[in-house]
Structure 1
C-alpha cells in the first residue's frame, strides 16, 4: 500500500514538472516572439521616421543659445572635478598619447569636384600637427574601453579665419574620434546627458525620467559601441568627424583611416597592455625607436540629401551605401622623437577646435554650433588656470 502511494506521488510530481516545463517553454517562446515582433515594429518605425530627403541648410531650434551657455557651466564644472594637482585638464580627450608632426598631401589627380578649400590645389603638401588621445575626461589606463581621438591641425593656411578674434592662427583643424556617430542627437539632448554625467549619474544620462518615451536606448547602445577595446596602436584606428562641415557648396563629413600600403611594411612588437600608457609606448616604438612612418588617408563623404543624411542629428550614421567616402589627401607621419617634457607640455597647451579654419570647411549642425561656444570658453578657462 505504501509502495503504491509513493508511485502515485512520483507520477504526480513528474506530471507537475512536465507541465511546468511545458508552460515555461511556451512562455519563453511567446517572449521571444513578442521580442522579435517589437524589434520588427521598431525597425519599421525607425525606417519610417528616418528617411529622406533632408534639409541641406541648418535648422536652428529656439533656445539653443541659452542651452549652450548652461553647457559651458557644466563643462567648466567637469574641468574642476578632474583637475590634477598641477594642471587643469580638458573636459574631454584629456589624455594624449602624443602630438606629432605630419604632412598632409592633396592627391595630384584629385577630381575637380573635390578641389575645395585646403584641397583646392592638387599635389599641395600642408605641414600639420596631429594629437592622438583617449576620449575620457579623466586620464585612465589605456586598456580601459574608451573612444580614441585624433585632432589634425593644418598650418599656414591662407584666408580669413572663421573666428573674428583668431585671424592670426592661419590654421585648419579637423577634430575626430573613433566612431562614426555620436550618442546624442542635438544640443538639448547633450545638455541633459552631460548634466547627468557631471552629477555622477551616468545611468540617468540615457534614462532621464520614469517615462519610457524619454528613454534613449538606441543612444545608449551607440555609447557602449563607442567605448571599444584599445587598439594595438593609435596609428591603427579609423577616426571620424561625426558632425558635418561645409565642403565648398556641399555638406560633408571627414574620415582619417590607416593606409599601410603607402608606408614601408611594419609589424608593431607586442605591447604590454597592463602598462597604463601602452598606446603612447606603441606610438613611440614605431616612430622613435623603429623609425617607421605611419600613413593615413583623409577622406570626404558628401551628403546625399535625397537619403537620410541629416546635418542636425549626429546620432545618425551616414551610410556609405548612400554616399561613399572619397580620398582627397594622404597623411604621412614621419619618424620623429616626440615624447619629451618640452613637447608634451606644448601638446598639453595646444588648442584644437573645428572652428579654427576657413569658410570652405565651416562646421555646421547643432553639435558644431555648441562646440563654437564651449571649446573656446573651456580652453580659455583651462589656460587661465594653467598659466604660471
Structure 2
C-alpha cells in the first residue's frame, strides 16, 4: 500500500516538475524573444540626455559622499569604488607602427609614439576587502605629457589622458536613473533592493542582477592576467568606440606567476610584486578599440548592453608594457592612494559620452575633492 502511494506520489511529482520545466522554458523563450525584439538596431550615434538627469546626479553625489564616510579606513578617506589598489605601476604605451590611417586619432595619431603612463590595478568594491572575495577588478590607465586642451577647464595643467576600465564588458545598470536607485539601496545596506525596488515585478531588474553576479568573479591568479573593458563609450576622433585592455603574452617573456596563498588578504598585490619586483619580469597588454556600428544594436546611453564582437570586432591600436620595477613601498602606495583617475581627464578626441560618463564627470570630481580635503585635514598638524 505504502509502496503504491509512494510510486503515485513520485509520478505526480515528476509530472509537476516536468510542467514547471515546460512553463519555465516557455517563459524563457518569450523573454528571450521580447529582449531580442526590444534590443535591435539601428541606434543613435548621438547622445540623448533624458530630463531630470542633473537632479538625479546631485542625489548620487550625496550618496557617494555618504559611502566615502562609511568606508573610511581609520582617519583615511577612500574612494567610493575601487577603494583597494593592488598597486600603481609605471608603464609605456606604444602606438602601433603600422596603425591604419583611420585609427590614427587623438593620442594614437602618431604611429610608433611611446607615452609614459601609470596603471592603477584594483578591486572593484567600495570597501578594501580580502582579494579572495568575488569582485570586479579594475584598471585605470593614465597617459602623461599629453598635449592639447583638456576637457575640464580647471584641469589644463594636467596634460593627461585617462582610460578607466573594469573586468566585465557591460555594466549592471543602464542609465543614471537606475544607478541612483541601485547605489542608494547599497548605501543603505539593502543590496537586494538594488535590483528589486518594490513588489511590482515590472520594476524588477533580473537581467541586471545576473550581470552583477557575472561581474563578481573569482580572483585571477594575478592582476596582469585579466582583461579590462571601458564598459561606457567614448569619442574616437569622429566615431564612437569602447576600449579594452587584454593580456599580450606574445610581447613579453614567458612567465607564470607562482601560486599565491589566497588565504592572505592582499595576495593579488603579492602576485604583482612577485612578477615585477622579485622575478623582474615585465607584463604586456594590448590596448584595443571597438567602433560603434549604429546600424547594429550598439547603444550609447545603455551601459548594460554589451557591444557584440560579431557586430564590431576589437582592433588593436597600441601595446602596453609594464617594466620590472619596485612599486610596493609606503611612499609610493600613499602616492597611489592620492592619485586621481577620471575619464574626463583627457582631450576632445577621446571625450566620454553617454549617461554614465556624464554622471562620472560630476561624481568623480565631487568625491575626489571631498576625499582629498578630508585626508588633508586628517594629516594636518
Sort the TM-score into its range (normalised by shorter chain): over 0.9
Work out whether 1:96 is the aligned partner of 2:85.
yes
SS of match in other structure, 1:232: coil
User: Which of 292, 301, 308 is equivalent to 2:281?
Assistant: 292
CA drift of 1:19 comes to 2.1
- Show the counterpart of 1:223: 212
Query: TM-score, with normalisation over the residues of structure 1?
Result: 0.97
Work out whether 1:175 is the aligned partner of 2:164.
yes
CA drift of 1:14 comes to 3.1
SS of match in other structure, 2:115: strand
Work out whether 1:371 is the aligned partner of 2:355.
no
Q: CA separation in 1, counterparts of 2:162 and 2:12?
A: 62
Alignment of 1:266-305 (within 5 A): 266-305=255-294
User: Which of 327, 331, 339 is equivalent to 1:350?
Assistant: 339
Q: Deviations over 1:152-207 (max 9, x none)?
A: 00000000000000000000000000000000000000000000000000000000
Give the gaps of 5 or more residues in structure 1: 1-9
SS of match in other structure, 2:116: strand
Q: CA separation in 1, counterparts of 2:77 and 2:331?
A: 18
Q: CA separation in 2, counterparts of 1:336 and 1:15?
A: 74
Q: CA separation in 2, counterparts of 1:271 and 1:200?
A: 32
User: Which of 212, 219, 224 is equivalent to 2:201?
Assistant: 212
- Show the counterpart of 2:247: 258
User: Which of 322, 330, 335 is equivalent to 1:341?
Assistant: 330
Q: Deviations over 1:44-94 (max 9, x none)?
A: 000000000000000100000000000000000000000111310000000
Q: CA separation in 2, counterparts of 1:18 and 1:148?
A: 51
Q: CA separation in 2, counterparts of 1:160 and 1:381?
A: 26
Alignment of 1:105-184 (within 5 A): 105-184=94-173
The alignment yields a C-alpha RMSD, in angstroms, of 0.6
Query: TM-score, with normalisation over the residues of structure 2?
Result: 0.98
SS of match in other structure, 1:253: strand
SS of match in other structure, 1:332: strand
Q: Deviations over 1:305-337 (max 9, x none)?
A: 111000000000000000000000000000000
SS of match in other structure, 1:175: strand
Q: Deviations over 1:255-311 (max 9, x none)?
A: 000001100111211111111100000000000000000000000000011110000
Q: CA separation in 2, counterparts of 1:149 and 1:14?
A: 59
SS of match in other structure, 2:214: helix
Work out whether 1:38 is the aligned partner of 2:27.
yes
Give the gaps of 5 or more residues in structure 2: none
Q: CA separation in 2, counterparts of 1:226 and 1:355?
A: 24
Q: CA separation in 2, counterparts of 1:37 and 1:231?
A: 37
Q: CA separation in 1, counterparts of 2:256 and 2:225?
A: 11
Residue range with higher mean Cα deviation, 323-332 or 78-87: 78-87
For the pair shown, the structure with the greater C-alpha radius of gyration is 1
Q: Deviations over 1:101-151 (max 9, x none)?
A: 000000000011100000001000000000000000000110000000000
- Show the counterpart of 1:75: 64
